Structures are given as C-alpha cells and as structure tokens.
C-alpha cells in the first residue's frame, strides 16, 4: 500500500485542521493567551497618507537626498492631513500613530520642528517650480484667488487689520493667494500683509508664473473683485497673458440701461455673446439663470423684512421717548441697515425726537432686474475658447473656494495662526498648502468611496449656465448613503477615521518583561483594502 487513511478530518473546523497541519510540520504551538499586547498605535490613516505621498513622489520634491529636516516636514504634512494641531501639540500627537516610529521622531522637539519649517521655506521656490511643471501647461488655465486668516497675537509684522473674511473683526489677519490648475490642484501660495488689497496681488503672481515657473502663455481666471480694470490694463501690455473674469453689478446695469444688453435676448436662450465699445478687444458672455434669480429675490426680500422689523423696533423706542437725539438714533439705525447690507434700499429721516423710514421701491426694482444675470468677460479669442467654455472656466473658480474651505475650516485648519515671526507664518501656510496638495489627490482617488460625483467628464457636456446637477449615481449615493455593493459611503474625514482602526500592536510573551517584542498589524477589511488599492493608482 502506498497510502493509508488514518482518519477523516473534513468534518473538523478549519482552525483545528490548520493546527493539525502545523503540528505535522513540527511547528511549536503556543496558546494565544501566552502573549500580551504591550502597545497599540493607530496605523491605517498614516499608511494611507504616506502611500499617497510616496505615489506623488513628494519626498523627492522636498529634497533629492534624505535628511532629518525632510523627514520632519513629511511627518508634519501627514499630521496636518490627519489631525491638524499646533506644532507643539503635533510633537505629542504623532506618538499616538506609527508616524513617530516610521520616521524616527521619538526625540524630535518643537525647536526641531521650527528648524524644519525654516528649511522648508528656503526650498519653497524650488518645490513650487516642480509642482507647476507637473500641473501647469503653456497656454493652460490658472485659477487664482486670495483669502485671509486671523492671528492669535499682535506681534507678527504681517498681521494687519483688513477685510476680514473670518468674521473676527477684533483680530489682525494675514492674506494669502493660492494658485491652482483648472481642476483645483494647488501649485503655489504667496503670503501678504493683512491690509493688502486683493487686486494688487494679481500682477505679481502673473510675473511669478512667467519668470519663476516659465509659463509664458497663460489664461488667468479670477473673480470680479480680483481682476479689476487697473489689473486688466496692466495685463493687456503683457504678451501671452489672457484672462477670464466677470463684470460687477454696476457695469451690468450700465449695459442694461444703455440698451447693449436687452432682457428679451434671454427669451429662448440663457447665454448671449456680445461686444461693447467700453470693453475693446474683449468678449462679453451674458448669462441668465432663472433659479439663481429666484434665490436672490427671496434672499433680498428676507433681508428687507428683517431690516424692516429691526427698524420698527427703533421707531417704537423713539416714539415712546426711550431713544432720543439725532446722533444716538442715527447710530442705532446705522447698525441695523448695515447689518444686512441693504442700506441702499432704505430712505431714512432722523431728527432729535423722530425717526421714519421707507423702502426705496425704485432701487429694489432696479436691482431685481439683474436677478439671475451675470456677465463673463475675457480677451481670449473665440477661435481658442467658445462662449460656453469661458463660462465653465469662470465657474471653475469654485475649486479654489473648495481649497480655501479645506485649508481654513474643514480639514487643515490653517487658522488661527499662532506664529510670531513673518517667515514662520509663510512656512506654516506653505506647509498647509502642501498638505492640501496631498489631500486633493486622495480625494480624487477616493471619489468612488466618497459622496463625490465620479462623472467629472459630464461637466464639459452640460449646460454651462444652468445650475450644476449631480449624476444619477451621485444622487443615489447621497440619498441611500450606500455604494452599489451595499457598503457605506464616506466623507473624507470618516474614511480616514475608519482606516485609523487598523493598528499596529507590539506583543511579547506574557509575564516576561525582558522578552523581545514582535508586531502584529490589524488585517484590513475588504472596504479598507479597496481604499488602499485606489491610492496606489495615483500616478
């Protein structure tokens, strides 16, 4: 006989069969309860971010050779994506992740972090040149916008009082301009004093694109407050530079009253291209969005109603003799009508003992005529850019808005700024931009798992004026909170939190404190493996 059946094991559980197989191999088997876990640190979220950094080659962009500063900066970028803190808190936080072990940061102090930030700032130009070379193209679109963040403190020379977008009227602030490609991928950031006007930052950015990044032919896209007429006059003198922006309300009103733009043109279409002598060498694309007009009309009525109610309260106080004096009454009235930005729609009469007001219906009607109407202006020839494409490109500025929301509030928390030295502030904001660069690529790779719309090509096909509509698949995800396979849909934050449940455990033989330790990492779930697989596709 060449074979003999000793026993049938097929009825036994698979774990028992595996134990028998290992025993026949003469392996030494030790009960699980003989081991103990001496330390567990979260690993999955760190692994996801570092996988993205590796796929992007960001470490090589930071430095072509390994050095302690590059390791600290890479760890700071990863920490900013996962859990943004102050620099001091970060040096404590990364010990709760495998980040400290993987980068050898056990002894890194806050001073080492500041030294690494100074090293990063010295390399900013070289890093941004590399990013621009990979994401900007000659003759391509460049999106640019400016935002601000407030300070905790008063000693930084960049900290000034200016137009505060954070609603912190008692805080100093710093301004910074972000340059992205047409898809919103950030490539450069510049920091300015808090009282610098947005329009004055545009021309220096164009010069920077041409001189430092070598982009000689470019189309700048900026909002109506950014690309002002003075900037346009300057850009017209620069060869190879084109722009796309929009007219302000007063300019649109002039077109209407002058007859150049007639509302009847929108009877059977929502996009009209025209020219005007006041804008030589330019094309104007007038758009009308009825749904936007309805929203604006309702908002204006709500603001007028809220302001009227507040003014009536002041009126009753004056009539009752509880508020007197022209100056005191005017102060209270000014606060109310300026609160909702509708002062132009009210006529007020104030004396020492009386106060009356009325809504200026003529001005309300004049403004209502513009509801839903906006006009895009550009100097790009029609042969190179259609009217519909020009509108789509202008609307792409929302990508920069998303970047600012992520930088300031949702994910990376660039504000409040605690640094005192101007260069540290610049380095902090540049570090946040690099973190958003990593996050942007993670979000793009994870579109199938997030609430994001996967059908991005549809943007080039749909009506550029009509309100954006998500694809049917994206609507299904939003309604059911489930993917096609029945698994949960995530936001970017919740997906990172789910990955953080993958931990690295340090184990040893129970009762032997001097025994060597070995690591066991949590086995990822199928959903987690899919998330990692999507990141590995980043090119």
356: left (phi over 0), alpha (psi -120 to 50) or beta: beta
Tens of pLDDT, residue by residue over 297-339, are: 999 999 999 999 999 999 999 999 899 999 999 999 999 988 8
Task: State residue 34's pLDDT score.
Answer: 78
Asked if 193 and 174 touch (Cβ cutoff 8 Å), the reply is yes
Segment 334-358 mean pLDDT: 91
What pLDDT, on the 0 to 100 scale, is given for residue 426? 93
Beta bridge partners of 188: 179
Instruction: Give percent of the chain above pLDDT 70.
Output: 98
What does pLDDT average to over the chain? 89
For residue 409, the model assigns a pLDDT of 67
Selection from 67, 7, 78 nearest residue 44 by Cα: 78
Largest CA distance in the chain: 121
Determine the pLDDT at residue 399. 86
Does 196 have pLDDT greater than 70?
yes
261-305 pLDDT per residue, tens: 888 888 888 999 999 999 999 999 999 999 989 999 999 999 999
CB-based contact 271:394 (threshold 8 Å): no
Lowest mean pLDDT among 112-126, 240-254, 408-422, 436-450: 408-422
The beta strand positions in 199-307, using DSSP E, are 218-221, 241-246, 271-274, 283-288
Q: Alpha-carbon torsion 256, 261, 267, 269, what sign?
A: negative
Specify whether the backbone of 340 is left (phi greater than 0), alpha (psi in -120 to 50) or beta.
Answer: alpha
Answer with the residue of higher pLDDT: 426 or 32: 426
pLDDT tens digit string along 45-60? 999 999 999 999 999 9
Residue 466 has pLDDT above 90, yes or no: no
**CA–CA dist 464, 376 (Å, integer):** 12
CA distance 312 to 318: 10
Query: What are residue 143's DSSP bridge partners?
Result: 180, 221
Q: What does the pLDDT look like over 141-181, one tens digit per residue?
A: 899 988 888 887 778 888 888 877 777 777 888 888 999 99
What is the pLDDT at residue 148? 85
Query: What is the spatial distance between Cα 413 and Cα 195, in angstroms, rounded to a whole number?
Result: 21
78/435 Cα distance (integer angstroms): 7
pLDDT score of 412: 63
Q: Map out the domains of the chain as residue ranges.
A: 137-283+377-416, 292-368, 444-535
pTM of the model: 0.85
pLDDT greater at residue 482 or residue 35:
482
Best CA proximity match to 59, nearest among 76, 45, 71 = 71
Which of these CATH numbers, 2.60.120, 3.30.43, 1.10.20, 3.30.420, describes 137-283+377-416?
A: 3.30.420
Tokens of 145: 């916008």
Q: Select the more confidently predicted residue: 95 or 407.
A: 95
Mapping DSSP onto H, E and C, the string for 298-361 reads HHHHHHHHHHHHHHHHHHHHHHCCCCCCHHHHHHHHHHHHHHCCCHHHEEEEECCCCEEEEECH
Question: Whole-angstrom Cα distance, residue 147 to residue 172?
Answer: 14
- CA dihedral (148, 151, 154, 155) positive or negative: negative
Least confident of 102-111, 153-162, 172-181, 203-212: 153-162
Mean pLDDT of all residues in 121-126:
95
The answer for residues whose C-beta is within 8 angstroms of residue 204's C-beta and 6 or more apart is: 190
Q: b/e for 91-111, b at 16 or more Cβ within 10 A?
A: bebbeebbbbbbbebeebeee
218-232, 457-471, 490-504, range with the lowest pLDDT: 457-471
Cα angle 295-297-298, degrees, rounded to a multiple of 5 = 65
392: its two tokens:
């789509």
| Phi/psi at 434 (5° precision) | -65, -35
Residues 488-512: tens digit of each pLDDT: 999 999 999 999 999 999 998 887 7
Distance CA 283, CA 306 (A): 40
Contact 131, 434 (CB under 8 A): no
For residue 30, what pLDDT is reported?
67
Instruction: Compute how many other C-beta atoms are within 10 angstroms of the C-beta atom of residue 11.
Output: 7
Q: Which of helix, strand or coil describes residue 99?
A: helix
Nearest to 345 by CA among 299, 314, 295, 304: 304
Q: How far apart are the first and last CA of the chain?
A: 59
CA distance 178 to 191: 9
Q: Are 55 and 445 in contact (CB under 8 A)?
A: no
Task: Tell me phi and psi for residue 527, to 5 degrees.
Answer: -65, -40
Pair 98, 50: CB distance under 8 Å: no
Which pLDDT does position 32 carry in this prediction? 66
Residue count of the chain: 539
* Rounded mean pLDDT, 433-460: 91
Residue with tokens 């191999």, as numbered in its chain: 25
- Identify which has the larger pLDDT, 2 or 373: 373
CA 319 to chain centre: 50
- 22 pLDDT tier (thresholds 50, 70, 90): confident
Query: For residues 29, 30, 36 and 40, what is the CA-based torsion angle, rounded to 10 degrees?
Result: 0
Contacts of 514 by beta carbon, 8 Å cutoff, 6+ apart = none
Average pLDDT over residues 394-413: 78
Bigger pLDDT: 470 or 526? Answer: 526
pLDDT at 208 exceeding the cut of 80: yes
């Amino acid at each position: 006989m060449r074979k003999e059946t000793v026993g049938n094991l097929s009825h036994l559980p698979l774990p028992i069969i595996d134990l028998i197989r290992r025993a026949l191999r003469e392996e030494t088997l030790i009960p699980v309860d003989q081991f103990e876990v001496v330390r567990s640190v979260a690993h999955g979220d760190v692994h996801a971010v570092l996988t993205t950094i590796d796929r992007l080659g960001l470490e090589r962009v930071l430095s072509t050779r390994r050095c302690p500063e590059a390791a600290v900066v890479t760890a700071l970028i990863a920490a900013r994506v996962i859990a943004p803190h102050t620099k001091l808190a970060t040096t404590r936080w990364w010990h709760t992740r495998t980040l400290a072990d993987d980068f050898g940061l056990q002894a890194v102090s806050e001073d080492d972090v500041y030294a690494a930030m100074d090293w990063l700032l010295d390399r900013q130009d070289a890093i941004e040149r590399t990013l621009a070379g990979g994401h900007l193209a000659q003759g391509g679109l460049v999106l640019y916008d400016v935002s601000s963040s407030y300070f905790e403190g008063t000693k930084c020379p960049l900290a000034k009082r200016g137009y505060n977008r954070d609603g912190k009227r008692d805080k100093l602030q710093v301004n910074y301009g972000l340059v992205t490609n047409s898809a919103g991928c950030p490539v450069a950031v510049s920091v300015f004093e808090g009282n610098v006007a947005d329009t004055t930052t545009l021309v220096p950015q164009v010069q920077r694109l041409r001189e430092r990044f070598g982009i000689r032919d470019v189309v700048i896209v900026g909002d109506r407050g950014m690309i002002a007429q003075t900037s346009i006059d300057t850009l017209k003198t620069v060869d190879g530079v084109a722009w796309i922006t929009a007219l302000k309300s007063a300019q649109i009103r002039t077109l209407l009253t002058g007859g150049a733009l007639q509302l009847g043109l929108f009877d059977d279409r929502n996009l009209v291209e025209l020219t005007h002598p006041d804008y030589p060498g330019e094309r104007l694309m007038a758009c009308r969005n009825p749904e936007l007009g309805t929203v604006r009309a309702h908002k204006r009525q709500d603001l007028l109603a809220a302001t009227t109610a507040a003014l009536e309260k002041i009126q009753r106080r004056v009539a009752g003799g509880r508020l007197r004096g022209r100056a005191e009454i005017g102060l209270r009235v000014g606060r109310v009508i300026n609160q909702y930005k509708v002062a132009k729609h009210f006529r007020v009469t104030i004396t020492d003992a009386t106060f009356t007001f009325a809504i200026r219906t003529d001005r309300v009607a004049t403004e209502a005529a513009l509801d839903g109407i906006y006009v895009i202006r550009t100097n790009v020839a029609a042969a190179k850019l259609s009217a519909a494409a020009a509108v789509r490109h202008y609307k792409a500025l929302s990508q920069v808005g998303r970047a600012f929301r992520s930088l300031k509030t949702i994910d990376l928390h660039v504000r409040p700024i605690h640094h005192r030295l101007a260069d540290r502030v610049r380095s902090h904001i540049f570090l946040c931009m690099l973190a958003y660069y990593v996050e942007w690529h993670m979000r793009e790779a994870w579109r199938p798992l997030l609430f994001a719309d996967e059908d991005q090509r549809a943007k080039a096909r749909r009506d550029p004026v009509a309100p954006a509509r998500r694809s049917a698949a994206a609507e299904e995800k939003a309604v059911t909170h489930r993917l096609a396979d029945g698994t949960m849909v995530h936001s970017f934050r919740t997906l990172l939190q789910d990955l953080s449940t993958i931990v690295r455990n340090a184990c040893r033989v129970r009762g032997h404190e001097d025994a060597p330790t070995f690591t066991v990492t949590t086995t990822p779930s199928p959903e987690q493996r899919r998330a990692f697989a999507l990141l590995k596709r980043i090119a």
